[in-house]
Structure 1
């Protein structure tokens, strides 16, 4: 036991801090959230020397070489990186194709209608102002500048004076980094304890399939493929590589930040070479040059986030096929030259997934970074070692251990793939399908209600055609017209309860009036007749405010602004990606319930478009062969595809048609409309309308909340309460 303690105390203080941080987080839970600023302070402290370190190490490392040496080194390093990218992407695709079949579907994504974010490779890699690049944290542009300056100094006979000064600066930066590393276990503990204490069970369960993939993929790359490949081809032993990367691995795992580990990685490689008496000036310079370069270019760590893109496509029913592999792979290699936070939204659009699915990535990045960042660390170490020994001509495929390690890699890969498929299949069996989630949503804060499936005979005489707030309060009943199958605005859930966005607002309105609520069904063509005859007081069911109806009924101010979209079978989505795709069809038949006033002129101009009215959206989904696509709001389209996962939603590029929705009253009831407008203003101001929108349209809170578990709360305190 003493030996174990001594091992932790002398060599693995960071690992010890990590372990104690997890234990503290599990025991004390959210009480340790106050430690997060402490951890952030240590991250900032580590970053103090990083940019100067990159500048000094690259300029000095390259400046000390002869021009012909640099060309050879960079060419061999490029060969190493290209080889690792190729094999790594093959591994990523192997894991992507382990995703099991599932019931696809998701809630509306707000970024579906946002402008596409193009990657400006010129701005990222060609620095017009290198000092601005340093201030903005633009590492690729800074690296290009330093490479250019370092190579320019190679043939300069007076370079030694400058390089000596930079050498001294570099030594000073190295001393600072080492001093900071010594106290960094405090930061490791603070970051781990606060993360382990505040991470909710819901965060872990929401994207558990992705977590299984990214964890197994990360573990395979960092502990099997990369170290075994280096051990198979170079004199470096497996455990030696892990030992070199250990401190950087722990730091990257804890902070999710690879940038701050670069000095640690460089010093670790140089220390190994000197310790084994195989170091020379060239190997030191290669390490100083290649570590920041390997970080700047797409690493296998960065490329593992491609698994999220492929997972998001699978999650929304747009899973990639073998025919998509070349296009996605090429797009990934180029886009990941940029920052990962730019690359992922770009790649999501490439695989036809709404770009705001990126929000899911952000939500899970706290966990996924624990494996992505350490993978990047091992990748950088592997690139450096392979390049150093490639330059020294010590790469060999003929060692006995080469056969052993290659055999292990070839055997462990399918085992990890099988594990991923098996675990995820089991997880999906215990996960609610998309239609279960939306079909089990309920209205909170309900008032007494009466849900009718017809218009009562008593209302047909027109005796209740005159109404206002006083009349509604006097009769103690608010009568609301609804469309029965208008997901997510008004529909029946699994318990046969009438629910939805407008139904929730209707209950809130009735609560504020202090009355009960009665729901009366109608179809869209009946709106004007039923309101004017007084069958109900207000129509609330995602009603489009259009030019035809405003002449016949009185609408409130807009409640929502919706985006017009198309719903079609998944395999036909590519046919409707752009306006040009639509025009390429000789004829198209669109099903619709609304939008005649909104799109009538457009369809008259384009004779090859046909617009067919249907009675219910369900008519389209149950008979898709009759139509090419359904015209519907994107918000409603996503909700319907949760019930019918074989369908997908698309907003053709270049089509940004939006329209308002609101409540409707009879033309003569202006006082009631004024009250509703004032009520909406109040409920917007206090956040109620946004709260209802978040729940019914975006699906926030659609899964039941599970209280954060901790030992102190759920075991110790509960036992003390039981004793009392």
Structure 2
């Protein structure tokens, strides 16, 4: 068995390793999750020679060209290649339209408030210091530097040039030999990553991978069997049928072996033969084809560009789709980075659009399935480039407006039909995950003290007032009365069992426990907080209260319990419109609701005169509104994330200029003994980690769901382990 595997081609070994890895992962489950470490190590080894290889191969490959050949290739063939790249990048950017709509929401994460690292495009594209570009992994800058050196070498003569070219060729061969040696251990990495992924990845994540695989296969088939042959048929004397016929042998070979290099002789001969049949081949034209195909092979082909689709998928999979404004940057940077290995390009592009690097493992796991399909697109790309360039050289390229219109309509129709069928088809079989509201609606307060919850609001002038209770009075009474705001997720709200829960409800229960008393919760309205405290309706208000300057002379705030981040909650399709000052200023007929933060709202009214601000009684009035009375609401990122668990159709937009504010507990203005106790109690519970534990549970959702072990044969079928 082992001898058979070792005698296989490397691509076959990788496929076998992937399937064996899947089997091992399904059998052993989470116990093989550690294998990802081995997989990552192998991938890092594979990246070792990539950056220097780009340098020497581009310099040597371009530098050895004759000036006349270089002019021809970089002018005519270069222009055609560039146009084909742009077309492919545009089609790839459209493919995410086929991804099914999946409603999802998650607990607050600190990553959403981290400021996005601004991209230094000068460093990314301009190699002012080539050594820094190489050290920092700025692949586009390295490509620019390598091309510049190669072009400079073309104009040189003499032995010195030959010595440099010999050195570049020799060094390139060294790197190639190292890479060929490392490829022998790559199946080990594929096995390790596949086993780890199959053992730890949930069923929902596997289902989501179908979106990428299906859309990727369709993309490659669309390019290979419609877009590129249609271009050939529209602009050259060669018919659509002939374009498919001459490429058939090369496509089948590339798909079976995953190797484009071995198809180069086939492409050269087939191109010469079909042009000869149309009386379009001269001796110079034949020479052009023989030179062009090997040189074009060293540049990124359309098949290789299709891997950029993974980055769009990664954004969809992560719940943070790639923003339209970043598509040009991603496309250009992706193109230049693909002069090297995809194992460098994909992590680079994920980082460029601020997506987790861990998603790269999904790409590696699927790479040897998708590689078969991008090989056929690469072969058809070489056929198309060669035939268009040769036709241009022989002055038989047909560029009439009628033909260009026909070509454009044909391509557009093919893309439109494909996107619609894909969107409808995947939408029927790939559904949204389970409703997330069930998670937060079933959370409970862990600390158990005798609790009484009142739901009727006390009324000033009607409900009997009580003297303000100091600490001794509370202990003597045996009950701590806590004011709360109903439906103030995630600070105080009712769960599915009708219990009052939330971060501040849990903190209040712990405070009562530490005081050795029972607890009674009384609802209040925020605009009547000071009067309610003064009337003795409750001793302390604990319900996500933003500290309000206008209230500070009427009540006493304890030390801030949390620092929250101001954000905007709105429907998913509008989130991106609130992410920058420029886009907000461009909005028209938009109404923003708010509950508190009156001082911030006054500043916002001056800064954004195009918006209408309306105060509402509570956040539930926004999320449960009928119709579209309010377009968005100003809320903390922490609370907004919690509300989106109940309403997955909404999302959170973090303001361009971060705004933070404190929340605190409030007591009656003259209740100094209780204020002192609460301040000291908070310090203790912060230091001993109890407050952080509650924050992690209620805000970050850690422990909110019971994580079941990944299904595995060894546990769930054979029952060999618990």
Q: 1:305 aligns with which of 279, 301, 311?
A: 311
Residue number in structure 2 paired with 1:669: 671
- Given that 2:36 and 2:193 are in contact with CA atoms closer than 8 Å, whether structure 1 keeps it comes out as yes
**Separation in 1, partners of 2:217, 2:477:** 67
**Separation in 1, partners of 2:552, 2:194:** 58
User: Within the alignment, does 1:123 sit opposite 2:118 as a pair?
Assistant: no
- Given that 1:17 and 1:188 are in contact with CA atoms closer than 8 Å, whether structure 2 keeps it comes out as yes
**Separation in 2, partners of 1:166, 1:10:** 27
**Separation in 1, partners of 2:3, 2:416:** 35
After superposition, the C-alpha distances for 1:109-166 in whole angstroms (9 at most, x for unaligned) are 6565554544333211211122222222222211111111112112322222221232
Residue number in structure 2 paired with 1:83: 84
**Structure 1 residues 8 and 220, CA gap change in structure 2 (3 angstroms):** farther
Q: Please show how residues 550-589 of structure 1 align to structure 2 within 5 Å.
A: 550-567=552-569
Residue number in structure 2 paired with 1:168: 170
Q: CA deviation at 1:240?
A: 0.8
Question: Normalization by structure 1: what TM-score?
Answer: 0.75
**Separation in 2, partners of 1:651, 1:117:** 15
**Separation in 2, partners of 1:157, 1:303:** 43
Q: Please show how residues 504-523 of structure 1 align to structure 2 within 5 Å.
A: 504-513=506-515, 515-523=517-525
**Structure 1 residues 418 and 32, CA gap change in structure 2 (3 angstroms):** same
Residue number in structure 2 paired with 1:214: 212
User: Within the alignment, does 1:660 sit opposite 2:662 as a pair?
Assistant: yes
**Separation in 2, partners of 1:187, 1:574:** 38
- Given that 1:589 and 1:609 are in contact with CA atoms closer than 8 Å, whether structure 2 keeps it comes out as yes
- Given that 1:227 and 1:241 are in contact with CA atoms closer than 8 Å, whether structure 2 keeps it comes out as no
**Structure 1 residues 714 and 302, CA gap change in structure 2 (3 angstroms):** same
Q: 2:639 aligns with which of 621, 631, 636?
A: 636
**Structure 1 residues 517 and 427, CA gap change in structure 2 (3 angstroms):** farther
**Separation in 2, partners of 1:606, 1:89:** 35
SS in 1 for 2:552: helix
**Separation in 2, partners of 1:22, 1:605:** 56
Q: 2:454 aligns with which of 452, 455, 466?
A: 452
Q: 1:240 aligns with which of 253, 278, 282?
A: 253
Q: CA deviation at 1:696?
A: 3.5
**Structure 1 residues 162 and 311, CA gap change in structure 2 (3 angstroms):** closer
- Given that 1:54 and 1:292 are in contact with CA atoms closer than 8 Å, whether structure 2 keeps it comes out as no
User: Within the alignment, does 1:178 sit opposite 2:176 as a pair?
Assistant: no
Residue number in structure 1 paired with 2:281: none
Residue number in structure 2 paired with 1:367: 362
Q: CA deviation at 1:171?
A: 2.3
Q: CA deviation at 1:462?
A: 5.5
Unaligned runs of 5+ in 2: 230-242, 271-285, 338-344, 398-409
Residue number in structure 2 paired with 1:252: none
- Given that 1:286 and 1:384 are in contact with CA atoms closer than 8 Å, whether structure 2 keeps it comes out as no
Q: CA deviation at 1:522?
A: 0.7
Q: 1:540 aligns with which of 531, 537, 542?
A: 542
SS in 1 for 2:147: helix
**Separation in 2, partners of 1:185, 1:319:** 32
- Given that 1:130 and 1:142 are in contact with CA atoms closer than 8 Å, whether structure 2 keeps it comes out as yes
Q: CA deviation at 1:712?
A: 1.4
After superposition, the C-alpha distances for 1:469-490 in whole angstroms (9 at most, x for unaligned) are x665665543321101222222
Q: Please show how residues 426-465 of structure 1 align to structure 2 within 5 Å.
A: 426-428=429-431, 431-454=433-456, 465=468
Q: 1:622 aligns with which of 604, 625, 634?
A: 625
Question: Normalization by structure 2: what TM-score?
Answer: 0.75
Q: Please show how residues 331-342 of structure 1 align to structure 2 within 5 Å.
A: 333-334=331-332, 336=334
How many residue pairs get aligned? The number is: 662
Q: CA deviation at 1:64?
A: 1.6
User: Within the alignment, does 1:37 sit opposite 2:40 as a pair?
Assistant: no
SS in 2 for 1:520: strand
Bigger mean CA deviation after superposition, 579-588 or 36-45: 579-588
**Separation in 2, partners of 1:550, 1:633:** 21
Q: CA deviation at 1:625?
A: 6.1
Residue number in structure 1 paired with 2:424: 421
Q: CA deviation at 1:542?
A: 0.8
SS in 1 for 2:719: helix
**Separation in 2, partners of 1:540, 1:600:** 26
Q: CA deviation at 1:212?
A: 3.3
**Structure 1 residues 96 and 606, CA gap change in structure 2 (3 angstroms):** closer
Q: CA deviation at 1:523?
A: 0.7
**Separation in 2, partners of 1:186, 1:72:** 44
**Structure 1 residues 16 and 345, CA gap change in structure 2 (3 angstroms):** closer
- Given that 2:458 and 2:524 are in contact with CA atoms closer than 8 Å, whether structure 1 keeps it comes out as no
Q: CA deviation at 1:450?
A: 2.0
Unaligned runs of 5+ in 1: 246-267, 348-354, 399-406
- Given that 2:17 and 2:188 are in contact with CA atoms closer than 8 Å, whether structure 1 keeps it comes out as yes
Residue number in structure 2 paired with 1:51: 51
Q: CA deviation at 1:611?
A: 6.0
After superposition, the C-alpha distances for 1:530-569 in whole angstroms (9 at most, x for unaligned) are 3233332321111011222222222222222223344567
**Separation in 1, partners of 2:455, 2:265:** 84
Bigger mean CA deviation after superposition, 522-531 or 301-310: 301-310
Q: Please show how residues 112-151 of structure 1 align to structure 2 within 5 Å.
A: 114-151=114-151
SS in 2 for 1:157: coil
